[in-house]
Amino acid sequence: MHPRSSLVAAAAVASLALTACSSGSDGDASPSATDASGPAASQSAASAQECLPVPGDQLVVLEDDMALQNSDNIIPALNKDVATQDVLDVLAAVSGALDTPSLIELNKSVDIDRQTSEEVAEAWLDQAALGIAETGDDSTIVVGAANFSENITLAEIYADALDAAGYETDVREIGNRETYLPALESGEIDIVPEYAATFAEFLDGDVENTVASGDIAETVAALTPLAEARGLVVGQPADAQDQNAFAVTQGFVDQYGVTTLSELAASCGGIVLGGPPECPERPFCQPGLEDTYGIEVAEFRSLDAGGPLTKNAITTGEIALGLVFSSDGALATS
C-alpha cells in the first residue's frame, strides 16, 4: 500500500477545481465561437416552441456535438526522469479503462456517498481488472494530487496501478497548479493527473491564443511540445473528461426530445440559462451557445460555476439549462 503524506504549500490558496474543469476560467481559453450566420445559427430559434424548465431529480448533460468546449480529458503528466516505457504503459492501461461515466461514479462514491478516495480507487482498480504485469523495480514514485477530491482519487488510482506493477508509491496532496507544477518540474513529485486542454493553455500562457481544441488528438499534439519544453512528458489521455457541460433534467429530455445542444437549438426558443456570473461574457458559456449553436437565451440567472446553486436551480425548475461539470457525481444514474 502507498503511504499518504502531505506537501506543505504556503502558496496553495486557490482551489484548482474551476481551473481544471473550465478552460474559460484559465484566461478564457476556449474555442472561438463560429460566425452567427453559420449552419447552427441559421436554424431560427425564434420560431421554435418555448421550452419551459421541467423539474426533476435526474440531471442529464446535453451532448456538445459541435465541440464548443475544449477537450479536457484526464491525462497523466510526468517528470521526464520517471517516464520510462514501463511506467507509461501502466498509466496507459488506466487511461484505457477510464471513461466519463466511470469518472462520474468515482466522484459520486467520494462526494455523495462519502467513501474515501483510497477506498474508491482500490475498488475501481479491482473491478477494472487491468491485468498489469509486475515489471517494476521497487523504485519509489511520488504521485501528486491537487487539493480536490476528483484529482486525489485519480492520483490514488495511478498509485495503486503502479503498486500492482511493482513500484513503491507515495501520494501527496498539494495545492493548485501554480504550486504543484514547479514540484513536478523539479522532480519533487513524479506524476500528476492533469486535464489536457487546461494544462495546454496553462503551459502556453498566451491568453490571446488558444492552442487546445475540442479534438483531443489536436489538443495532445499541442500539449506535448509545451510539456517537453518544461522537462515533462504526457501519457495517453483517457476518454474521461472533466469539462464544462450543459445539463437539463431527464424530464426535460423526455418532454422535448432533445439530447444534444444542436437539437435544443432547433427545437426550443427562449431558454432560461443559469451559470456563473461571468457566463454572459465567456465564449465557452452563453456567447458560445448563441453563436456556435444558435440557441436563444431569453433569460440568464447568475448562480455558480457548476455548483449546488446551479444544480438545484435545474432540478427545481428555476432554469431549464445550467452549466455543470461533465464528471459531477450528481450526474450518476445509479
CATH topology of domain 71-234: Dipeptide-binding Protein; domain 3 (3.10.105)
Query: Where does the chain hold its CATH 3.10.105 domain(s)?
Result: 71-234
Between 26-30, 160-164, 280-284, the lowest mean confidence (pLDDT) is in: 26-30
Q: What is the pLDDT of residues 93-107, one digit of tens each?
A: 999 999 999 999 999
The confidence score (pLDDT) of residue 321 equals 98
- C-alpha grid cell for residue 189? 513529485
The confidence score (pLDDT) of residue 15 equals 35
Q: What is the pLDDT of residues 173-198, one digit of tens each?
A: 999 999 999 999 999 999 999 999 99
Backbone angles phi, psi at 89, to 5 degrees: -65, -40
- Cα gap 189→142, rounded to integer Å: 5
Query: Where does the chain hold its CATH 3.40.190.120 domain(s)?
Result: 29-69+244-331
Q: Are strands 74-79 and 232-234 parallel, antiparallel or unpaired?
A: antiparallel
Task: Answer for the pair 319, 274: CB distance below 8 angstroms, yes or no.
Answer: yes
- Cα gap 201→29, rounded to integer Å: 7
Q: What is the pLDDT of residues 278-311, one digit of tens each?
A: 999 999 999 999 999 999 999 999 999 999 999 9
Compute CA 105 distance to the chain's CA centroid, rounded to the nearest angstrom.
14
- C-alpha grid cell for residue 137? 523495480
Question: CATH homologous superfamily for 29-69+244-331?
Answer: Osmoprotection protein (prox); domain 2 (3.40.190.120)
Considering Cα of 81, then 158, then 71, then 209, what sign does the dihedral take? negative
Strands annotated E in 4-137: 4-6, 49-50, 59-62, 74-79
Q: Could you tell me where the DSSP H helices lie in the chain? A: 17-21, 85-97, 100-107, 117-128, 149-164, 177-186, 196-204, 216-228, 250-256, 261-267, 286-293, 308-315
DSSP letter assigned to residue 330: G
Largest CA distance in the chain: 66
